[in-house]
Structure 1
């Protein structure tokens, strides 16, 4: 059943990412593998989500998962309020919400440059903690490496689009976790 769930999720992700998968230089290419890693973790660990619910490991897992939801909701709200939209002919594979016209550096974005990727990072490790095995650890580490790759590629794209303002913004903010990383 878990394998079938993973295959179904993967087929959906391939269809959604079909344009970005054609351009290995876009951040979306690497983001696909992040989603695949998280899908694998969810499928593998799904039977263990509610085992031993009051253990430290489970409570820490739920804290990461809840923070993940908070980060993505906050990021979407800020992008809608302050990001605007700009047509990006140089990146036709981008989704519309990715093509912001204005650099958002308020709210959560004041502290971290990639709150949506931070959300995925928290989701990744929160799902991993549901059932720790060498396989799930490997998937989580590889997914984290792909998240770093996604952020680095997107930062190159943002430097080109926003110029010096983005360089200054990078010097004042962290990549994923406020005050840490």
Structure 2
């Protein structure tokens, strides 16, 4: 059952990612790879999800997972409130620099990054570490290619925005 669910969710991510998923220089391509890596990480670590719930690694995991959820909710809310999306959050017509966007340009990808490491801490193994590092690399590549699109959409305003915000993690990257 777990394998069937993994396959269905993986195919769902491919279908929902849209046509440009096979263009290697598209942020959607790398975002799809990140989603698939995160899904694989959940699949690998799901048997240990509730094992030893008060162990240090589980507490760290839950803190990261809850932080990820909070950041995602806030990021989606800011995009809908200030981004004036035409069709969905990917088609915002206004650059959002409120809330968490004052500090980081890609809080939703940061949320996925935190989620991935939260899942890793459910059962830290070399396999899980490799998958989490892969997801991290895919998310970083996603931001690089999405910023190219954002520069085309918002122009000089986005260049100025880049000068005073961090890409994903304040004071790091």
Specify the TM-score bucket, using the shorter chain as the normaliser. over 0.9
Q: In 2, Cα distance between the equivalents of 1:49 and 1:66?
A: 14
How far is 1:22 from its partner?
A: 3.7
SS at match of 1:37: helix
- What is the TM-score of this pair, normalised by structure 1? 0.90
Structure 1: any 5+ residue segments left out of the alignment? 87-94
Q: 2:99 aligns with which of 98, 103, 107?
A: 107
Match of 2:62 in 1: 62
The count of aligned residue pairs is 173
Question: Does the alignment pair 1:50 with 2:50?
Answer: yes
Moved more, 161-170 or 117-126: 161-170
Measured against aligned partners, the alpha-carbon deviations of 1:86-133 in whole angstroms (never above 9, x if no partner) come to 5xxxxxxxx732111111011000000000000000010000111111
- What is the TM-score of this pair, normalised by structure 2? 0.94
Question: Does the alignment pair 1:82 with 2:74?
Answer: no
SS at match of 1:76: helix
How far is 1:64 from its partner?
A: 0.6
Measured against aligned partners, the alpha-carbon deviations of 1:45-68 in whole angstroms (never above 9, x if no partner) come to 111011111111111111110010
How far is 1:15 from its partner?
A: 1.4
How far is 1:135 from its partner?
A: 1.1
Q: In 1, Cα distance between the equivalents of 2:99 and 2:115?
A: 21
How far is 1:163 from its partner?
A: 0.9
Moved more, 113-122 or 12-21: 12-21
RMSD: 1.4
Measured against aligned partners, the alpha-carbon deviations of 1:123-161 in whole angstroms (never above 9, x if no partner) come to 100001111111111111011000000000001111111
